[in-house]
Amino acid sequence: LYESNIGVRGKILWTPGPNDKFTAAWDWSRDTGDLGATRDAYPGALLILGFPPVAGRYNSQSNEETYVNTKYYGASLKYEHNLGWGSVSFLNAYRKLKSQNNIDLDNTPVPLLVARIGETNETYQSELLLNGSLPRLNYTTGVFFFSATSAYNPLGIRSPILVAQNY
């Protein structure tokens, strides 16, 4: 088993005047490893085609490189303005994830079942808020927009014994 994670993030605040504030934030991360993707058979079990599992708790008899590689990043920009009697704020944000997984499903030394799973996710959001107060009421009103797209591409199982299972 192996695991490697790295990430960076930052945030900047800019106040051009007494009533205005801009906040920018961003992040980027990469995770690589085989955690959750490496498969091992229970001791004493027989694998597909009668193969016995190899000895040892951490041994994998996979014939394919098993891995999970994930990269994700995002950014946001927020503007806030003090109106005296209340405040208005506007937020825009973006986020993306891309992942590629390669998993030996049969756990034998023969390439019988190998899954390749690619995943992408992308989101956008915008928000406009008005905050204020009256003698006996604090209020927030606004509008919100959110858009997301997700896909598995490729999503397939490679096998010499099964008909093609690519989607």
Residue 1 has pLDDT above 60, yes or no: no
pLDDT the model gives residue 55: 55
Stated as kind and residue range, the H or E segment containing 85 is: none
Report the alpha-carbon distance of residue 100 to residue 119 in Å, rounded.
6
Q: Kindly give, in sequence order, each residue whose CB lies less than 8 Å from that of residue 167, ignoring residues fewer than 6 positions away.
A: 152, 154, 155, 156
pLDDT the model gives residue 102: 86
Report the alpha-carbon distance of residue 127 to residue 125 in Å, rounded.
7
pLDDT band at 35; cut points 50, 70, 90: low
Average pLDDT over residues 6-13: 97
**82-135 per-position pLDDT tens digit:** 999 999 999 999 999 999 988 887 777 777 888 889 999 999 999 999 999 999
Comparing 41 with 157, which gets the higher pLDDT?
157
CB 128 within 8 A of CB 142: yes
Residue type, 154: P
Instruction: Locate the DSSP E strands across the chain.
Output: 3-17, 20-33, 67-82, 86-104, 114-134, 137-158
pLDDT the model gives residue 138: 94
The average confidence (pLDDT) of the chain is 86
pLDDT band at 62; cut points 50, 70, 90: confident
For residue 110, give the nearest of 63, 157, 156 by alpha carbon.
63
Residue 2 has pLDDT above 90, yes or no: no
**14-28 per-position pLDDT tens digit:** 999 999 999 999 999
Query: What is the pTM (predicted TM-score) of this model?
Result: 0.76
Distances from the Cα of 66 to the Cα of 57, 90, 154, angstroms: 17, 44, 16
Report the alpha-carbon distance of residue 76 to residue 26 in Å, rounded.
6
CA angle in degrees (0–180, nearest 5) for 155-58-160: 35
